Structure 1
Amino acid sequence: MLKRYAFFLAAGLLLGPRARAQTTPPPAEAKPLLGFAPAAAAAEYQLETKFDAQLKAGNLRDWMKRLSAHPHHVGSPYDKENADYMAGLFKSWGYDARIDISYVLFPTPKLRVLELVGPTKYTAVLAEKPVPEDATSGQTAEQLPTYNCFSKDGDVTAELVFVNYGIPKDYEELARRGIDVKGKIVIAKYGGSWRGIKPKVAAEMGAIGCLIYSDPKDDGYGQGDVYPKGPFKPETGAQRGSVLDMPTYPGDPLTPGYGSTKNAKRLDYRKAPTITQIPVLPISYGDAQPLLAALAGPMAPADWRGALPIPYHLGPGPARVHLQLAFNWKTEPVYNVIATLQGSQYPEEWIMRGNHHDAWVNGASDPLSGLVAELEEARALGELVKAGWRPKRTVMFCAWDGEEPGLLGSTEWAETNAKDIQKHVVAYLNTDNSDRGFLGVAGSHTLEKFFNQVGRDVQDPEKNVSIIERRKSLDLVSGSPEAQKDARDRPDLRIGALGAGSDYSPYLQHLGIPSLNVGFGGEGAGGEYHSIFDSFDDFTRFKDPTFAYGVALAQTMGRCTLRLADADVLPFEFQNLSNTVAKYGTEVKALAETMRTDTEKQAKLLADKRFDQVANPDQPLLPPKAQEAVPYLNFAPLDNALAKLEQSAQAYAQARRGPNKLSDDRKKELDQLLYQAEQQLLSTEGLPRRPWYRHQLYAPGYYTGYGVKTLPGIREAVEERKWAEADEQIRRTGAAIERFAGQVNRAAAVAGPAPAQ
C-alpha cells in the first residue's frame, strides 16, 4: 500500500553501527500518566525501562534479512513459509499463536502487451533490470511481473492522451483546452493521488485504457542518483500496486461486508464493483519516454511537465497505443498470524497490535521495516512475562497477509470476527513501512493526549530531543501555515486523521475501533517502492542502516501497548477530540462559503466574457461552464452537536480530576464505555455510495484514495455540489456526534463520585 509519510526534510547525521535509540529518562518524580495513579505511573516507568533494555537492533536486522530473502506475495511459497516462521517465533516467546486463513481473489498476469503502433513503433520492455549490487534483485523466476492488481482484462488500441496525474482537476484542465479522452488511452504520472483513482477517473471520462508511469522528476534522477549508486528509481524501475477501488470498500472484492471463509458465497469477479472498468498497467519511465515523445498537440501546462528530455505534449495522438492484458483470476489463501497474551485482570479487553507481512516482491521496507519492530516488541514483552510481569488486559500481536492487494487479510479477519472485535477490542495499533527521520502519527483523536505522553518519553535517535519535539520542529520549518501555528502555540502535537492505505481501515472506519498508525520517515527517501529494489541491500544502505529508528518504533509502539494494557482506567480523553472536530466543522462551513463566493465571481466573469487565455494566443482556453449557485446550508444540527460534545468532554475531564476511587466493577464498566465510544460515531447507513465506510469523522476520499476526508459525508457532498445530500449528511453527522457525546456523559457519571447508598 502507499504508507509513505510526507516528511521531506532530510537532515541529521547517521548513527554509528552500534547506535541504538534512547528513551528520555523519567525525572526523579515520575511525570503523570493518563489512566495511571501516581504509584502505578512510577511502576509503569520502571517496567518500560526493563522493556527498553530488552530491545536489540540486531534482531531487527536478522529478521528483515530472513523474511526478505525471497519474494513473498500472496500465493507464493515464501509467503506461507514466513507466516509459519513467525508463528513459531511467537510460540517460542510464550504466546498462544495460530494462523487464521481466509480465501481471497488474487489475480496475477498471464499476458501483458504494450506497443506504440504509430506513427513510429516501439514495444515496451515491461521488465525491471536487476543490478549486481543487490543480491535479491535477480530472483526473476520468483518475482511477480510489473502489473496493477485488479485491472480488468482488455485488448484495446487507441490514440494516447497525457493527463498529468490523472485526477479530476486535470481533466477539467484538458476540457478547457478542448481535449476529450473518450475512446482514448490515457497515460498518467504516479503521484498526486492514490494510483487506483487514475483508472477510476479515466473510465468515468470515457477512456478505454490507462498507463501509469513514474516520472523521473518525481521518482528518479530528478531527485538524485538512481539505484544502486543512490536510492532513487532507475530507468527500468516500475511501481506495482493494487488499483482495487478501495474508497468503495477494501478487502476481497467478491465478499463485500462479510468474511471470505472457504465456503463463503462469492460474486462473479466480472461483476465485482471494486475491480477497474478499464485495463491499466504500470510502466517505467524508460518505457514511457517513447510513448510521450510520439505525442503532438498542445504543450502541457508548465507544472505538468516532468524531467524526461522531451517536450511534453498533451495529444491526442498521433501516437497510437495497443494495450493487451489478461489475468489468472485465482482464489488464494492468506495467512494471518494471531499471537495472544492473556490478560490477568481484564482478559475480555483486547489490545491489538498489527503490521502486514506480505509484499509485492521482497518487501524489506514495505512492510518488513515495521513488522520487525513489532516482532521485537512481542519478544521483549515475552521476556517481561518470564520475569514475572503479566498484562492486565489481553495483548494480541497480528501479522496480516494480503495487505498489498487491498487490505485483504485484515479486512476479512475483521469482517469474520466483527462482533467479538466490537465487544472486546480496546484499540488497534498499526505500523507499516518506516525508515529514518521524523515521527508520523495519525488516528483517533480520543488517543491524541495519550500518544503525546508516549512520544514525550521516547528520544529521537539522531537528536537529543523527544520524537514529539523533533516532529514539531519539522512542522515549524516546513509545515503548512496551520501546522506551523499549531507547532508554535500548542503544547502538544496534533495528530493527523486516518484515510486509508493500511490495515487500520477496517477496524476504525468499518467497526469503530479507536486506532493509531505510526512510523518514521523523511530521511530515507528513494524509489524502491513496490519494485524489485525494495530489498535488504537497499534498506541497509539507504533507509535505516543501524536500525536505530526501528528500535525507536519498537519503543514507541511498545509503550502504547504496555500503557493500554496496564492502565488503571483506559487512557482515553475527549477534549482534544472536541477541539479537532470543531476545527473540522469550521473547515466545512468555510468550504461552502468559499465555493459560494467563487461561484458568484465566476458567474460575473462569464457575464463579462472575461476568462484567461493560455500562453499561446492561437489556442485560447474555453470558458469554464457556469455552475449552480451555492445555497446557504443549515449547519445548526452540526453546531448543536459540537456544543454538546464540548460539554461532555469537559464533564469527563472534571470527573477524572477528582480523587474518586473506583471499584473493579466500575472500572470495567467505565472501560467499556470508553473504548466503545468510538462506535457511536458509526452510522448504520454508511457514507453515500459506499456504505462499508460507516465512521462519520474519518474516511478515505472518494477521489483521493489514501487521502483522508474529515466529516466525509458533509465535505464530499459540498465538494460535489449535492446540496440535498449535504443537508442530510449534516443531520446524520450531527446525530452521530450527539450519540458519542451521550456515551461520554455516561462515562463521566461512572467516573465521578460513587452514588450515595
Structure 2
Amino acid sequence: MFKAAIASFIIIATSFSFHFWPLPQKSSYHSLFISNSLSDNESISNHLYMLTRRPHVAGSEANAEAAAYVLSTLTSYNIPSHIASYDTALTYPVSRSLVLTRPSPDPPIKFSLQQEVYEGDPYADVANEVQPTYHAYAKSGTAVGPVVYVNYGRVEDYVTLKEMGVNVSGNVVLARYGEIYRGDIVENAYEEGAIGVLIFTDRKDYGGGGGDVKWFPDDKWMPPSGVQVGSVYNGAGDPTTPGWPSTEGCERLSDEEVERAGDVPLIPSLPISWADGDAIVRSIGGQVASDAWQGGKDAPVYRIGPGPGIVNLTYNGKQVLSRIENVVGIIEGAEEPDRFVILGNHRDAWTFGAVDPNSGTACLLEVAERLWKLQKKGWKPRRTIIFCNWDAEEYGLIGSTEWVEENRQMLASRVVAYLNVDIAVGGAGFKASATPQLDELLIQAAKQVPDPDNSSQTVYDSWISSTDNPAKIGRLGGAGSDYSAFVQHIGVPAADISFGEAYPVYHSMYDDFIWMNKFGDPMFQRHVAVASIWGLLALKLADNEILPFDYLPYALELQRSVESLKDEVANRGITLVPLVKSIKELETAATKINEERKALEGSKSWTSMCKDSQKVRELNDRLMMTERAFTDREGLPGRSWYKHLIYAPSKHNDYGSTSFPGIDDALEKAKNLNTADSWHSVQHEIWRVARVITQASLCLKGKLT
C-alpha cells in the first residue's frame, strides 16, 4: 500500500537553500522580537495559570470566561479584537456504565469510570467540573458481548486477526490508544461487524512501560485511573452544517441525515483507564497475541478472545446547540492591509488543558505582547497579522472550520499563510510540519532562536542533532489540528510547530498547570522558544518585500512520492506519465520564479525595487496563490470537503496523512476489488492530480497559455 504518511518526513536539504531577508529597517525589529529584552517566561507562565484554573470544555461557562480573558489580553495590547461566535451541535454525556462478567468463580466488576483526585491535588475543588469520561459524538446505546482484543484497531490489525481465524462480528472490541485516531478505531471496528468499542490507555504506551515506574504527580506518566477522552467524529466542522457556517438560524441536517453522511459513529464506545483495561485483558482467553501486541512490564498476558469475559457497555449522550466563541485580533498592515498572515491556536480543552491547547494559547498571547512592544518602538507590519484563538477544536476542528467556511472567498484570495500552534510544549525537542514551500523559512527561523535546553546552540542545532527524526519537516496531511481547513479545504500555505511529541497525560484530567510546571517546561523557556519561532515566521511573512516561498522543494518531494507509486501500479496497465510530466513542469516553473526573484533583488537596490511595487505584488500573488491550485472543487471521492489533492488525511487514520490521497484511496479499493473499473479509477485519480499540479505550474509562471 502506498503511504506517504506524516511519519514519512522529508530530510531537510541545504542544496536548494535560499535566503529570504526582509528590508534592512525591518530586520532590526525582527532581531529585537526574539531578544531577551522582549521575551517574558513569567508572563507566559501567568497566562497558562489563568487559562487553566478550571476545566473548560467547548460550550461551557468556563470556556467563555477563558475567551473573555484572551479578548481582554489582546485588547490590552491595543490590538483591535472581537468575538466570532457560532451555534454548533456539541455532545455531552448523560450516563454511562461498564460491567465485566467473568467466568465463575470470579464475580462481575462494575467499573467506576472515575479519574481519581490525588492527595494534595490543588484542583480538587473544581474536579467535579470535569466532564465524565466519554467520547464526543459517540453513539448512544448498549452493547453486550464477549470481548475481542484488537491491538490498536488498525486495518492491518484486523487483517492479522483474520489470519488467526478470529472474527470480531457481534463482539465488543478492546483496543488500545495510539497509532491512529480514536474515531478511526471505532469506524474500523464497525466495518468489521463489532457492536461496541472500548479504548484503553495502555501502560506500555502512556504509563512509562510498567514495572516500578511512578506516575503523576510523582512522575510524568499517566496514573492508573487516567483516561484519554476525545472526539470520535470523523469529519471537520459542525456535523449538522457540512460545508457551510453554523450561523444563527442557518440550515441544518437532521440526525438521520448526519448519520447517513457517514462521519459519526454507528456503534457505542467508551474510553477507559489502563487499570480498567488491565482487568478486562485478564478476562480474555483464546490465542496468545504476538509480542508486538503485548503490554508493558508486569502486564498480564494479552490474549485475543473472543471472551470468555463479557462486557455490558452502555452510553447515553445528548446533543446540544452550543455557542462557541473564536477570538480574533487584527494588526492591520501599513502597505498591504489586504494580505493576511494568520496565527492560530485553539482554547477549548477536555479538562484543564495545560499542554493541549493552552500552552499554545499562552504563546499566542506572548507573541501578541511582543508585537505590541515592537509597535511602541515604531514597527508597523507591511501586511496584516491576524490572531485567531479557536473554540471547539477538540470536537472536530469546529471553530476554525466554521470561520473558514464563513469567510471562504476572502480568505482564499487574501491569506498569505496560516501558522498553527496547538500543543506548544509537551516536552523537549523541536517539531515542525509545513507545506513544502515554507521549509527553508522554518529552517532560517530555527537558526535564529536559542535552544531552550542548551543556550550554547540554536534550536536548529539541537534539531539536526536529534536522534529522533533529525531536522525533518512533517507534512500537514493529517486532520489533527486547525490547519486542516486552511490547507485541505482552501489551499493556504501553512506550518505547525511545537516542542515535544506525545505526552503521557494527553486528554486526561491530569493535564494541568502542575504537570506542566513539574515535567513539561519547569522554567517555561520552551514556551519562550515557541513564541520566538512562531512570531519570527509571522514577521518574515508579514514584512518581507517578496514572500519567502520556495516551490522547488515541493516539486522534489512530489517526485519522490511518484517513485513510491511505481511498484503499486506495476503490471496494472496504469501510466504515471501525466503525473511525472506535470511535476517536471512544476520543477521548471519553481526554478524560473526563483530566478525572477534573484533578478529583482540583484539588479536593483532595495529602494528602487520598492518603487516597482506592481511587479513585486504580481510576483507575490503568484507565490501566494500557487498552493490554491493544488485544490479541486469536487474534492476527494466520497470526501468532498477535502479539496487538496496532494495532502489530506488517510481514509483509515485521521491523524495520518497521505501524499496523493485520492490515488491512495483508489489504490486500496482496486487492490480489494481487482476489477477493470477499480483500476480505471486509479488512472482517473492520477490524471486529476496531474491536472492540479499543472495548474500550480501555470500559476507560478503567471502567463496564459
- TM-score computed with the length of structure 1 as normaliser: 0.85
Residue aligning to 2:515: 538
Give the counterpart of 2:574 among 625, 630, 633.
Answer: 633
Residue 61 of structure 1 deviates from its aligned partner by 0.4
Deviations 1:57-81 (A, max 9, x none): 0000001000000011112111001
Seen in structure 2, the aligned counterparts of structure 1 residues 318 and 378 have a Cα distance that, compared at 3 Å, is same
Distance 1:34 1:137 in 2: 51
CA contact (8 A) 1:570 1:671 kept: yes
Give the counterpart of 1:676 among 621, 625, 639.
Answer: 625
Mapping of residues 238-317 of structure 1, within 5 Å? 238-245=227-234, 249-272=235-258, 273-307=262-296, 309-317=299-307
Partner SS state of residue 343, structure 2: strand
User: Partner letter of residue 661 of structure 2?
Assistant: P
Residue identity (%): 32
Partner SS state of residue 357, structure 2: helix
CA contact (8 A) 1:686 1:695 kept: yes
User: Partner letter of residue 485 of structure 2?
Assistant: P
User: Partner letter of residue 689 of structure 1?
Assistant: G
Residue 718 of structure 1 deviates from its aligned partner by 2.0
CA contact (8 A) 1:107 1:328 kept: yes
Residue aligning to 1:610: none
My pick for the range that moved more, 463-472 or 51-60, is: 463-472
User: Partner letter of residue 496 of structure 2?
Assistant: N
Give the counterpart of 1:508 among 471, 487, 493.
Answer: 487
CA contact (8 A) 2:348 2:357 kept: yes
Mapping of residues 603-622 of structure 1, within 5 Å? none
Residue aligning to 1:614: none
User: Partner letter of residue 649 of structure 1?
Assistant: A
Distance 1:638 1:400 in 2: 37
User: Partner letter of residue 27 of structure 2?
Assistant: E
My pick for the range that moved more, 280-289 or 55-64, is: 280-289
Give the counterpart of 2:340 among 346, 350, 354.
Answer: 350
Deviations 1:74-112 (A, max 9, x none): 121110011111111111111110000011111111010
Deviations 1:636-689 (A, max 9, x none): 110110110111011111111112536222222222222111110001111111
RMSD, matched Cα: 1.9
CA contact (8 A) 1:72 1:361 kept: yes
Distance 1:35 1:239 in 2: 44
My pick for the range that moved more, 216-225 or 249-258, is: 216-225
Residue aligning to 1:566: 543
The alignment status of 1:71 with 2:50, answered yes or no, reads no
Gaps of 5+ in 1: 8-30, 488-492, 594-629, 750-757
User: Partner letter of residue 648 of structure 1?
Assistant: A
Give the counterpart of 1:55 among 27, 39, 42.
Answer: 39
Residue aligning to 2:350: 360
Deviations 1:89-145 (A, max 9, x none): 111111110000011111111010111134341111101001124312552321111
Deviations 1:676-730 (A, max 9, x none): 1111000111111101111111111011211111111112322332422210110
Distance 1:392 1:297 in 2: 67
Residue aligning to 2:591: 650
Distance 1:46 1:421 in 2: 27
Seen in structure 2, the aligned counterparts of structure 1 residues 495 and 311 have a Cα distance that, compared at 3 Å, is closer
CA contact (8 A) 1:497 1:710 kept: no
CA contact (8 A) 1:414 1:421 kept: yes
Distance 1:466 1:653 in 2: 28
Deviations 1:161-188 (A, max 9, x none): 1111111111111111111111111000
Partner SS state of residue 107, structure 1: strand
Residue aligning to 1:438: 429
My pick for the range that moved more, 353-362 or 291-300, is: 291-300
The alignment status of 1:685 with 2:677, answered yes or no, reads no
Residue aligning to 1:125: 112
Mapping of residues 225-624 of structure 1, within 5 Å? 225-245=214-234, 249-272=235-258, 273-307=262-296, 309-435=299-425, 436-463=427-454, 464-474=456-466, 477-479=467-469, 494-521=473-500, 526-593=503-570
Deviations 1:462-507 (A, max 9, x none): 2222222311211xx343xxx7xxx6xxxxx555344221000001
User: Partner letter of residue 468 of structure 1?
Assistant: Y
Residue aligning to 1:82: 66
Residue 337 of structure 1 deviates from its aligned partner by 0.1
Residue aligning to 2:674: none
CA contact (8 A) 2:30 2:536 kept: no
Seen in structure 2, the aligned counterparts of structure 1 residues 62 and 286 have a Cα distance that, compared at 3 Å, is same
Partner SS state of residue 423, structure 2: coil
Partner SS state of residue 647, structure 1: helix
Gaps of 5+ in 2: 1-5, 9-16, 672-677
Seen in structure 2, the aligned counterparts of structure 1 residues 47 and 442 have a Cα distance that, compared at 3 Å, is closer
The alignment status of 1:733 with 2:682, answered yes or no, reads no
Distance 2:127 2:458 in 1: 43
Seen in structure 2, the aligned counterparts of structure 1 residues 51 and 295 have a Cα distance that, compared at 3 Å, is closer
Mapping of residues 125-274 of structure 1, within 5 Å? 125-137=112-124, 139-222=126-209, 224-245=213-234, 249-272=235-258, 273-274=262-263
Distance 2:507 2:18 in 1: 43
**Structure 1 stretches of at least 4 aligned residues deviating more than 4 Å after TM superposition:** none
User: Partner letter of residue 262 of structure 1?
Assistant: E
Partner SS state of residue 46, structure 2: helix
Deviations 1:435-484 (A, max 9, x none): 2422111111111122221112112122222222311211xx343xxx7x
